[in-house]
Structure 1
Amino acid sequence: MAHPLYKAVPLPHDIDYSKQGVEVPGTKRPGQTGHYQNAAFGYTGLKSPGAFQTLPEVFETGLALSRDLTLLGHRPIVSKNPVQFADHYVWQTYAQVDVRRRNLGSAIHSLFEDGTLAGGELPTVGIWSQNRPEWQIVEWALNAYGKVSVSLYETLGQESVEYIINHAQLTSIFTTSNHLAELIKLAPKVPQLKLIVTLDEITPEAKQIASLWASTVGISLRELKELEEYGAARLIATLPVKPDQVASICYTSGTTSVPKGVILTQGLLAAATYSNLYGYSIAPTERGVILGYLPLAHIYERLNELAVVSLGGAIGYFSGDPLRLLEDALTLKPNFFPSVPRVLNRIYQAAMLAGGAPGLKGAIFRRALEAKLQKLHTTGEVTHALWDRIIQAVLGGNIKLMVCGSAPISAEVVDFLKIAFACDVIEGKHTPYGMTENGACCTKCLSGDPSAAGTVGPPQPGTEIKLVDVPSMKYLAEDKPYPRGEICCRGDVVFSGYYKDPKNTAEAIDEEGWVHTGDVGEIDNAGRLRIIDRVKNIMKLAQGEYVALEKVENTYATHPLVAQIFVHGDSLKSYVIGVVVPDPAQLAAFAGKVLGRTVSADDTQTLKQIVSEPKLVNAVLAALTKEGEKHLKGFELLKRIHVSLDPFSVDDNTMTPTFKLRRKDAYNKYKTELDAMYALPDPVSSHKAQKL
């Protein structure tokens, strides 16, 4: 029997997959659907019996369930040259973390009380670090003592860091040693910054030099352990906090302008955590163990970790190097693996490449794949006695739940992951595709649903949704067979506004509290949502057809050749073009077949030369066209492409810290090539690839 504090609620045994979302009677209006809620669980909010009210309650529930069990783990470095990590995790228990959060929280509160860190509208504290145990210890300390965390992405540039420090009026920042020099140099532009706390222990010599430098610009430098000792000597009980109290300001990536600060209250994050526990499929007898590698500065990872903590589970952080992610997984052996399409697409593409191998190995793979897909689509079952053990070993051999959010993922990839890892693969419309404004809690597919792929499931219990007409794109609530329109969501998980930004707040939230997401969806006869288009980032072609550029990119991104893709349109033209950044290993194998010669994936110089060869470019376009024709209309298909090995990145400002394209900057990077393609005569009207 589960512990009374264990709040996860499994799906009913007699779940009716034909009725997952239901329209509330009497809520339909002209130009919009009625309000849809979860059919299995109904609507949950802060007033629901047993619901979490605040973030300290979430932590303290986990503490009560697992006081002396592991909570936060990391792999220590055993060698710096070459870099090598231990073959095990070092852990801190719930009780140990509780002591540290109280010591640190007492110190921070004391510094605000004596005026050292005062001065802003809110008691804000910055965290600028990659994922690690200390990130969460700082966050939980702030939660428990009524302070407001402001997360900064590890990869933010100086301009964004400066903007956020000033906009949020940060007087202190907890960071890693690699950011110390950046912050000290920035000091003249952020005069309110008074304290930098390094999460790393640094040598006495390095600390002395950095402290002297920081003091010349009016900043005090401390190590985390110093602040914990300071707080231990001034220890006070955790402070009472209320659901409507601001807990965090999470700055969005800013794909088109400066970052927007999403105000997240204690109640919002607590309600979202509680909602995510409905349909949780890891058994109470097995503690959840999550591999924490997605940025904690993003709401998606934070909510997944809060769910695990609320159930007394453990978090093992990755080593900090994405290339070591599988190594970390093999060491940790997690049973919960939240991910994003860019990671899962890589796994899928690697598997498809293996499946195309000649001989017995490739034949066995293809037969097994076909048999398991047929079983999945007819029964919903995903297991296979032999093959499952082989594939699951890639991520440690213990995966029970895989969650995909932050961006769309194709049905083919979802189905493959289900049968490959023999586990629940839950695709959710996590706010939609990374949106922070509804607390990573909007819709989610139900475990065991055999036909869920391609949908994002019914509303989560903490949210209700509706569709509103988009006449300009001909999406209407009265469409047949399914209603279509812009997705709107409402509930205790929805934010109250952007920090100090009434204009954008008014554009995002209407007078009835509905957040307008900018996504276009349809609701099927089971009450599940399917994302079909995007109100934003759409453009009209010369013949009057609308193209959702992100939708086209997401379609092509499933092809194994594609590491990155940027689709561009001109309203004076009748077709779209694009830039394709191929995966080097896939490109080498593909080029070998097309050009009839051996090409090594490590031979960067040769790869850079052949990507401009017309024969190869045309072959790449033909392969992508074949993929695109499965899902896209003729006018949405790429007619010309430029192939490049120079990727879009955070460093060149063509991507946000959450790896979303900054469309204007991406265009400027390849402006010469894109403009040259449009300067050519229009291609012959055909759905097939055209020669350049």
Structure 2
Amino acid sequence: MPLNTEKIVNWPDVIPFDRQSVPVPGTKRPGQTAHYRNGIWGLLDENIPNRLLTLDQVFEDGLSVGRERQMLGYRPVISTNPLKFANRYEWLTWGEVDDRRKYVGSALHSMFRRGEVGGGEYETVGIWSANRPEWQILEIAMQTYNKVSVSLYDTLGKDAVEYIINHAHTTIVFSTSDHISTLLKLAPQIACLKLIVVIDTIPVESAKLFAEWGQSVGIRVQELHEFEAYGKANLIEPIKPTPDTITSICYTSGTTGNPKGVVLRHKSLAMATCSNLHGLELPDDGILMSYLPLAHIYERICELCTIAVGGRIGYFTGDPLRLLEDAQLLKPNFFPSVPRVLNRIYQAAMSGGNVPGLKGKIFKKALDTKLEKLRTTGENTHPLWDRLVFRKIQKVLGGQLQLVTTGSAPISSEVMDFLKITFACEVNEGLFVGYGLTETAAACTKTWPGDNTASGTVGPPQPVNEVKLVDVPAMGYTSEDKPNPRGELCFRGLNIFTEYYKDPKNTQEGIDQEGWFHTGDVGEIDPAGRVKIIDRVKNIMKLAQGEYVALEKIENLYSSNSAIAQIYVHGDSLQSYLLAVIVPDPVYLAGIASRILGKKIGPEDQAGLTEAIKDSRVNAHILDVLSEDGRKYGLNGIEMIKRIHLSLVPFSVENGALTPTFKIKRKDAANLYRAELDALYALGEPRHGNNGNKL
């Protein structure tokens, strides 16, 4: 049976690449641009044909493909000690998911109605789990029975979990077994929590232990199969939501302070899904690979789009080290991703191709030929070079990719072009979601297929919203700038959130009286109507000489360099220059260390790499690489990094330096390397050049 393509809106026969968004006449005001709307579809409202206004409608549309069709896939565990997964995917059908959403939803509604759980402003339900089929079943159940889902990142620390549970008055949490002990230990601090449901399979003895421990601290613990059995025995008909019914409080991971609870309506998520179905092309057996956190809005919208048309979703095992193995077994068509992962694929492919001899020459010829074709015609396939050179790289992700998307953070145009020609499929910063935020239900802009000059942009506004730029005088960005207007990006549309939960101050600062959400990102709009992200309002700082620098922008420029696995750029308002902490790519580091130190060092040789990062010559070499990049990207003197510290310890969620969506937590990263950064500044201001470590 084919997909349900009723909600998909096809591209026109002739795509107006020169008018991808258009200004609305009469909307230009002093200090801001006109309002720009999508150049093909304009601005969607609640009266368009085939609209999606509630999330239960999204599921019902997908269900229409047939109850026996595959929906949610996973790799079964065949051994727990050692942990081993089957070399295949097993699937739950649409019919099975339909039944289970009703069992879960009926049990939930009964418990709230009887007062066993609840008591807050909303009937909130928490999920604390890595991506798995049960996560999606629970979410669909809540959408069907008017419950408000509360996202708990699988990698959140106990402090944030404690804060969110109390803040949202979450009385029931569905959790995998690895988090149960944390929740039970927190019992005195989260007095509102009454019920924990274990969603993965656990031994009988473990279930008994958890139940007894929970009873001793006043929290009931039961397993999901028990919970579903109760719902099956007490079935309740689905409860129809309205478009304005609250469906989720999605907590942003945040780089500083407590996470903010973004309140989203059914209409916000449903219309964001509807918007992303404009121009979407899917095969009948399309599979999306799910590994980005489902607690994050980016992945949720990707999966909602797949659900709306009756596609399939395959979940990774939960182990990032098995991600490529999962992809090779699943053979996905769609791979929503983030720059951090795609940059690593780019670096590995470039390192593998840039080798001496005939192999390296063939790789360079293939690369140059396809890049020229892409940039002149927009085409990214080649009958010879795809077969001889790039097929091996494509097989790393299963060999059947048709769509790769990137969001969450900027990615360089160089990496985007490389991925387009390597995978020979659509690679977009914006298709599905691309540039978007939790507050906009992940929908802001998306690039158009076949646009050979789109790299470096995030495309025009999506049909669900309109965009404008507002002057940022402190940073020198104005709507009158030439050749393109520049300013803070603001969006308005049906996808915009209603409020930050219990946070009127930030709500008022984020949404103005006309309904515009101020993103904090600085953009420009080019003559074709495409948006380019160029800076960040909230991450600028003033150096001692009074000059402003944008730290995230500088980090993003360096992130595609093959020498760098991770980078944190650091500034101090009492100092006149910038430092950086660099985690070098181990393959790159091994190569330059072997040459500089005069002995063979491999990428797995931790002792050798540790010796290398302490050598001033290695440090100077990597700093020179950064300086060369800085000049290439046109950074001015104060934006150039003057000294660096090299480390083999990655920034991670576990050490507190990354958010669960892999963004640098600036304060925590600085604290992690406080002694090293202070020591570099203690050397005094560099007297000349950029190689400050020698001075």
- TM-score under structure 2 length normalisation: 0.97
In the alignment, what sits opposite 1:675? 678
Q: Give the structure 2 partner of residue 191 of structure 1.
A: 191
Q: CA deviation at 1:237?
A: 1.0
Cα distance between partner residues in 2 of 1:434 and 1:280: 17
Letter in 2 for 1:646: V
Backbone CA RMSD of aligned residues: 1.6
Q: How does 1:14-33 map to 2 (within 5 A)?
A: 14-33=14-33
Alpha-carbon displacement from aligned partner over 1:133-190 (angstroms, at most 9, x marks no partner): 0000001001000000001000111111110110010110000011111111111111
In 1, the alpha carbon distance for the partners of 2:693 and 2:490 equals 40
Question: 1:297: which partner in 2?
Answer: 295
Structure 1 CA distance for aligned equivalents of residues 108 and 512 of structure 2: 37
- Separation in structure 2 between the aligned mates of residue 434 and residue 275 of structure 1, nearest angstrom: 12
Supply the AA of the counterpart residue of 2:231.
G
Residue 225 of structure 1 and its aligned partner are, at CA, apart by 0.8
Q: Tell me the residue number matched to 1:310.
A: 308
| SS of alignment partner, residue 532 of structure 1 | strand
C-alpha distance 434-565 of structure 1, shift in aligned 2 (>3 A): farther
Q: Give the Cα–Cα distance (whole angstroms) in 2 for the partners of residues 118 and 617 of structure 1.
A: 57
Tell me if the contact between 2:428 and 2:434 (Cα under 8 Å) persists in the aligned partners. Answer: no
1:80-100 deviation per Cα after TM superposition (whole angstroms, max 9, x unaligned): 343322111100111110000
- Is the aligned partner of 1:664 residue 2:664? no
In structure 2, do the counterparts of structure 1 residues 376 and 566 end up closer, same or farther at CA, with 3 Å as the change threshold?
same
The residue type equivalent to 2:488 in the other structure is E
CA distance in 2, matches of 1:425, 1:260: 31
Return the match for 1:570 from 561, 569, 572.
572
Shift of the alpha carbon at 1:432? Answer: 8.2
What is the CA–CA distance in structure 1 between the aligned matches of 2:639 and 2:670, rounded to whole Å? 18
Q: What secondary structure sits across from 1:629 in the alignment?
A: helix
Match of 2:225 in 1: 225
**Structure 2 counterparts to residues 381-400 of structure 1, below 5 A:** 381-385=379-383, 386=387, 387-400=389-402
**What aligned pairs does 1:523-672 form with structure 2 within 5 A after superposition?**
523-631=525-633, 632-672=635-675
Contact 1:405 1:430 in 2 (8 A): no
Q: After alignment, is 611-620 or 351-360 more displaced?
A: 351-360
Once the two structures are superposed, residues 426-454 of structure 1 have per-residue CA deviations (whole angstroms, 9 ceiling, x without a partner) of 10299885620000000011111101000
Q: CA deviation at 1:255?
A: 1.3
- Looking at structure 1, the residues matched to 45 and 453 of structure 2 have their Cα atoms a distance apart, in angstroms, of 29
Q: Deviations over 1:53-73 (max 9, x none)?
A: 100000000001243211000
1:345 paired residue number:
343
AA aligned opposite 2:92: Q
- What is the one-letter code of the residue matched to 1:143? Q
1:627-675: CA deviation from partner (whole Å, max 9, x where unpaired): 2222223321111101011222222222222222221121111112112
Structural mapping, 1:54-69, within 5 Å: 54-69=54-69
1:160 maps to which residue? 160
Superposed counterparts of 1:360-379, under 5 Å? 360-379=358-377
In the alignment, what sits opposite 1:205?
A: 205
Contact 2:276-2:431 at 8 Å conserved across structures? no
Select between 134-143 and 577-586 the one with higher mean Cα deviation. Answer: 577-586
Paired with 2:142 and 2:601, the residues of 1 have a C-alpha distance of: 54
SS at match of 1:444: coil
Q: What is the SS of the residue equivalent to 2:186?
A: helix
Residues 169 and 4 of structure 1: CA distance in aligned 2, closer, same or farther (over 3 Å):
closer
Structure 1 position 130 matched with structure 2 position 130? yes
1:504 & 1:145 partners in 2: Cα distance? 30
Structure 2 counterpart of 1:194, one-letter code: K
1:238 & 1:691 partners in 2: Cα distance? 70
Shift, 1:586, TM fit: 2.3
The residue identity in structure 2 corresponding to 1:422 is A
Could you say if the C-alpha distance between residues 561 and 313 of structure 1 is closer, same or farther in structure 2, counting changes exceeding 3 Å?
A: same
Query: Structure 1 236/571 Cα, relative in aligned 2: closer, same or farther at 3 Å?
Result: same
2:151 aligned partner? 151
Name the residue aligned to 1:91.
Answer: 91
Q: Give the distance between the partners of 2:636 and 2:531, measured in 1 at CA.
A: 21
Cα distance between partner residues in 2 of 1:6 and 1:622: 55
Report what 2:106 is aligned to: 106
Q: Give 1:78 shift.
A: 1.8
Query: Which digits, 9 at most, give the CA deviation of each residue in 1:245-288, with x for residues without a partner?
Result: 110001111211111000011110001000011121335xx332
- How many angstroms does 1:688 deviate by? 7.1
**2:4–2:65: 8 Å Cα contact kept in structure 1?**
no
What does residue 359 of structure 1 align with?
A: 357
Shift, 1:4, TM fit = 7.0
Q: Which residue identity lines up with residue 486 of structure 2 in the other structure?
A: R
Query: TM-score, with normalisation over the residues of structure 1?
Result: 0.97
Matched, 1:11 2:14: no
In 2, are the aligned partners of 1:128 and 1:173 still within 8 Å (CA)?
Answer: yes
Q: One-letter code of the match for 2:603?
A: A
- SS, match of residue 337 in structure 1: strand
Amino acid at match of 2:565: A
Q: In structure 2, what is the Cα distance between the partners aligned to 1:633 and 1:143?
A: 51
Separation (CA, whole Å) in 2 of partners of 1:600 and 1:516: 48
- 1:177–1:198: 8 Å Cα contact kept in structure 2? yes
Amino acid at match of 2:69: L
SS at match of 2:565: strand
Counterpart code for 1:681 = G
Q: Counterpart in 2 of 1:452?
A: 454
The answer for the alignment partner of 1:215 in structure 2 is 215
**CA–CA distance in structure 1, aligned partners of residues 5 and 18 of structure 2:** 32
Alpha carbons 2:435, 2:445 under 8 Å: kept? no
Q: Are 1:180 and 2:180 counterparts?
A: yes
Q: Distance in 2 between matches of 1:223 and 1:3?
A: 34
What is the match of residue 332 of structure 1?
Answer: 330
2:694 aligned residue? 691
Residue 13 of structure 1 and its aligned partner are, at CA, apart by 2.3
The CA distance in 1 between the partners of 2:673 and 2:41, in whole Å, is 49
How much does 1:2 deviate? 7.8
- On the 8 A contact 1:43/1:462 being kept in 2, the answer is yes
- The aligned amino acid for 1:633 is N
Distance in 2, Cα, partners of 1:591 & 1:344: 25
CA contact (8 A) 2:3 2:311 kept: no
Query: Could you say what secondary structure the match of 1:608 adopts?
Result: helix
For 1:673, the aligned partner's letter is E
Report the Cα offset of residue 201 of structure 1: 2.1
Unaligned runs of 5+ in 2: none
| 2:58 partner amino acid | V
Q: Larger deviation: 571-580 or 265-274?
A: 571-580
Which residue of the partner structure matches residue 474 of structure 1?
476
Query: What is the correspondence of 1:426-437 to structure 2 with a 5 Å cutoff?
Result: 426-428=428-430, 435-437=437-439
Which segment drifts farther, 372-381 or 654-663?
A: 654-663
Per-residue deviation, residues 468-521 of structure 1 (Å, max 9, x unmatched): 000111100001100000000010001111011101101111111111011111
Letter in 2 for 1:163: Y
Q: Specify the SS of the correspondent of 1:519.
A: strand
> How far apart, in 1, do the equivalents of 2:436 and 2:558 lie?
20
Q: Partners of 2:535 and 2:260 in 1: how far apart?
A: 23
Q: Is residue 126–residue 152 contact of structure 1 (8 Å, CA) maintained in 2?
A: yes
Task: Quote the offset at 1:395 in angstroms.
Answer: 1.0
Tell me the residue number matched to 1:46. 46
Q: Assess if the C-alpha contact under 8 Å between 2:429 and 2:435 holds in 1.
A: no
Bigger mean CA offset, 579-588 vs 470-479: 579-588
Q: Is residue 408 from structure 1 mapped to residue 406 from structure 2 by the alignment?
A: no
Local SS of the residue matching 2:151: strand
TM-superposed CA distance for 1:678, in Å, is 1.7
Find the aligned partners of 1:430 and 1:7 in 2 and give their Cα distance: 14
Partner Cα distance (1:628, 1:81) in 2? 49
Deviations along 1:283-312, whole A, 9 cap, x unmatched? 5xx332100000000000000000011011
Residue-by-residue CA offset, 1:7-37 (whole Å, 9 max, x unaligned):
1123222102111111111111000000011
Cα 1:96/1:455, change in 2 over 3 Å: same
